[in-house]
Amino acid sequence: MLATVHHVTNDDQLLAQRAGEGDHAAFGTLFERHKGHIYRYCRLMLGDDDAAADIYQEVFINFYRACRTGQVMHNVRGYLITAARSRCLNSLRSSQRLSTLEDDELISYSPDETASDTRDHLQKALGMIPPQYREALVLFELEGYSYDEISKQCDISLGVVKNRIYRAKQALQKILGPILREQRFDESGENEY
């Protein structure tokens, strides 16, 4: 798990207020602080560089416009991730990629020959699991959100959050198991435990 810990600080609110006055440097500070999370979320949710970049741009430009039009940003990170989430869901919905995958389909996955390393495999595997599981896993493991934060963000119960993370991991392990085992053998030089 990433050790990233986010704090909603008054600093963000102050910077957003200054950005609202046209201070690009203040916006730049906020942008640098949050851009990685937002792009990563979009990229992993959509699995597509171009679509992720589009939404990433929209989110920040809209954020800036909102600041300029006098909106008070009490929670910059919450605003950004909510905006990104809403757009990603719209995009997935419009491309009809919200259907869930059954376990049988996961089992039938065969490692992609074009994937060059574990990261590639992992990205492709993430794209295979249902978006709601993927979202919970991305927010928890990659963005450092707590269960409680994910619960509020996605408007689901804590139990459902935990279950989704667990199921996401289980699905990934099912998909990537052979690759991980192969990698382990390669590293250890052994053929069996």
Partner 1 sequence: MTLHEEITALLQGDVTDPERVAELMHVLAVSPEKQSIFIEQIQLTRALTSLAGSITPPRRADHAIWQGLAAVDAAIAGTPQGAPVNASEPEPAEKPAAGARLGARFGTRGGAAVASLLLMGLLFGVAYMLPGGTGIGERTNSAGSERALPGMVRRATAADEVMLASAFMAAESPQLHSLTDLRSQLADLNARYQAQTHLVEALRSRGERVRVVYRDRPAVDRVDLQDAGGNGPQDRAMQPAAPKQLESEPQGQSQAPVAIARVEPRAPVTSMRSNAGISEQPETARRIAMNGSSPLDEDLPAASGPWQVGVRDQFRLSLPRVYGLAGNRTILFDKELLVSYHFGGENSLLSAMRLSLAAGETQFAQIFHTNVGGQPSDSIVMQSPSLQYARLLLAPELVRTKSVTGALEIGAGLATSQLKPVGPMASFGVNLEYRPIDRFSINVGTSAWMLWSQHLTSTVVSTNLNGHLGFAVGF
Interface of this chain with partner 1, residues 152 to 181, rule: CB under 8 A: 152-155, 162, 165-166, 169-170, 172-173, 176-177, 180-181
Q: Is 9 in the site for partner 1 (CB under 8 A)?
A: no
Q: Is 23 in the site for partner 1 (CB under 8 A)?
A: no
Choose between 110 and 154: whose C-beta lies nearer to partner 1.
154
Which helix (DSSP H) or strand (DSSP E) does residue 40 occupy?
helix 24-46
Token pair in block for residue 46: 């959509």
The count of residues interacting with partner 1 (CB under 8 A) is: 79
| Inter-CA distances, 176 with 60, 78, 124, 140, Å | 34, 32, 10, 19
> Among 18, 89, 127, 128, which residue sits at the site for partner 1 (rule: CB under 8 A)?
89
Sort 174 into a burial class: Cβ within 10 Å, 0-12 / 13-18 / 19+: middle
> What is the C-alpha to C-alpha distance for residues 142 and 134, in angstroms, rounded to an integer?
11
Token pair in block for residue 138: 């991305």
x/- letters, 66..85, toward partner 1 (CB under 8 A): x-xx-xxxxxx-xx--xxxx
Contact residues for 192 (Cβ-Cβ < 8 A; gap 6+):
none
Q: Is 136 in the site for partner 1 (CB under 8 A)?
A: no
> Among 54, 101, 106, 127, which residue sits at the site for partner 1 (rule: CB under 8 A)?
54
> Among 15, 26, 30, 87, which residue sits at the site for partner 1 (rule: CB under 8 A)?
87
Token pair in block for residue 60: 């920040």
State the nearest-atom distance from the C-beta of 182 to partner 1, in Å: 11
Q: Is 115 in the site for partner 1 (CB under 8 A)?
A: no
